[in-house]
Structure 1
Amino acid sequence: MILERRKANTIPTDWSAEDEAVLLTFLENESFDAKLLKTLFPNRTLPSIRSKVRKLRIKHDLFGASYRDTKEKFTEKIASEVKPKIVFDAYAGAGHQTFKWIARANTVYASELMKSKLKQFEKMASDHLFVKIDTKDCTWNLFQKDDKKIYLFIGDAVSAAAELKVNKVVVDLIDLDTCGSTLPTLPTLLVLLRPKHLVITHGEFHSMRFKREDVLRRLLVHRDIGSNPLPMGVDQMSDELDKAVKTAALRAHNETSDSFWLNLKDEIWLGGRIHGMLRRYYKVSKPSATADCINELSSLIKHA
C-alpha cells in the first residue's frame, strides 16, 4: 500500500500566551477530554490541541503524573529484585525514575535531551538531599549524597551511552522510559552498554490508537515494512512489541554471539489498557544458536 505524506489542512496559528495558560490550567486539574478541549479552543483542530498538550505536559513535568506512583513502585520492585550497582536512565526527564534507581544503585548515569529539564532535575536532587558538585567543563552534571552519585548528561541518549562506552563504564541495567518509542535506538544502546537487564516503556500504543500506520510500519522491525499492521488491538500490539524488542536485540550485532536474547520477566500497565502505556522488564542473556532464536521468534509470530 502506498502511503501519502501527512500534511496540514489548515493554516498554522501560533498559540498565544493566554491560550497556553488556559490549556496548562486545564491539564493541571483535568484529564484529557477531546470534546471539552475543542469547546475551549473551537478554532483549533484536534491534532493541534493534542500536539500542544503533549508539549506542555513534557515541559511542565505533567506527563504521566496520573500513573507516576504506579511506575515508581514498579521501578522500586525491579530495583529490589535486581539490585543493580550501575544504571543508565536514558530519558531521565525531571528525574523521577532516576531517584528511585539510586535508592538501590551506587551510581546512576542519566541523560536528557531537553536543556530546560536541568532545573527540574536539580530541584528533584535537592529534595532528595543530593548536592550538585562543580565539574568544571565536564559534559556531565554530578549530584552526590554520601557514597551515591548521579551523573546527568544534557544531550542525546546515544551520545551519552557512547561516552560511557569509551570510558569503559560497566552498566548493569538500562531504563528506556519515554512517551514515544525507543525501538530504533535499542540495538545501539544494547551494543554500547551490554547491560544485564532492560526496563522499557512502550509509548507506541499512542501510534496504534491514532492509527499512525506510517509510524508502526517503521517501528515494528520484525514485520514487513510494506504491509499495514492495522487494525490491531491492545493484546496483539503487546505481543507485537515483545517480538519487535526481541528481534531488535537479536539483530543488534553482525554476529549472533555478540547480540542479545531478551527474556520478558515482568510488566505493568501505566494508565490502563485503554489509554495507557506498557512498562516491561527483560533479563538480558546471550542468544543460543541463530537457528534456535529464529525458530522461537517465528513460532511467536506464527501463533500470535
Structure 2
Amino acid sequence: MNQVKWGIIGCGDVTEVKSGPAFNKVPNSELVAVMRRDAQKAADYALRHQVPVWYSDADALINDPNVNAIYVATPPDSHAEYAIRAMRAGKPVYVEKPMALNAAECETMNRVSKETGVPLFVAFYRRALPYFLKVKELIDQNVIGDIRCVLIQLQQPPAITEGQIQLNWRVSPDVSGGGLFHDLASHQFDFLEYALGPIKTVSGLARNQAGLYAADDIVVANFEFESGALGTGSWCFTVNKEQRIDQTQLIGSKGKITFCFFEKFIIRVETESGLDEYTIPFPEHVQQPLIDLIVKDLRGVGKSTSTGETAARISYILDQITGH
C-alpha cells in the first residue's frame, strides 16, 4: 500500500482535533471520505475539513473503491460490527478505544483479523506520545531501579452544566461497556502494560454510589505484573472539584516517578541524587504519532505498537476488575 486513503465511520467530537486532521498531516496518508448517520452533520464535517466525499451509510463508505483503510470512531457498542464488516471487505481497521464492549467482542474481532489477514489497530495513542515515551525511557534506563509498586489515583467531579448532570454515552454501559472507568482506565492499563510488561493477575470492585447514572462511578483494583511488581488503583467520578486528582506513581528500588495520564504534562523523578522534572506537552493532534506508525505499518516500513491483540488484553483486564 503506497498511499493510505482513510475513510472515517462516525465523524464525531473525537475526530475534530484529536484524530481527524492528523490523517492529512501524516506522510503517505490522506482522509478521503467520512460517514455519519446524520447526513447533515456528515456533510458539515466534510465541508469544514475539506474531505471530498461524505456518506450517511457505513456500507457505502466501506465499499468506496477509493477508501483502502477504515477508522471506526463510533462509541464502543458498534466497534465490533463496523470493524468486522470493514475487515471482511479487505480493508485495514483503526478502531477507537476501548476496543469493544467487552473482551469477548475483542476476541471475535481479532479472530476475523486472523481469518482475513487484514490488520487491526486500536487508538491507544499514548504508546506513541513523547510524554509517555519519556516515562518508558526512564523505566528502561533503570533510573529508579526495579519497579516495586504502581499506584494509580484518578478522581474527578461529575460533569454538571447549569445544575444538570451531563449524561452521554460514556456513562451508559450498554453503549460504552461500562462507565468513565472503562473510558479512562483503559488508557492507563494499556500504557502500563506497554511500559512494564503484562499484568498476570487482577481483581477489583466496582460500585455505583451516587446514583447519577447507570454506570459504575467508583472502582478499586489490585494487580500484579509478570515482572513481580504490584499495583493498586482507585477511580472515583463523583468527588467535588477540590478533590480532583490525576496521579500515577511508579515506586522503584532506587526512586520514584510521578506523572499524570490526562491533566498535566510534568514528569517528576525522585532519586538519591535529587529531583528532576520534565515538561512535555501533548501535540495538537494527539493521535498523530500513532497514526504515523500505523501508516508506516500498512506500507511495510514500520510497526504499530498498538494492535487488536494488545488492546484486547486491556478489555479483559477491565472486565476482570468490574465483573462485567
Q: Same fold (TM over 0.5)?
A: no
Larger fraction in strand: 2
More contact order relative to length (CA 8 Å, sep ≥ 6): 2
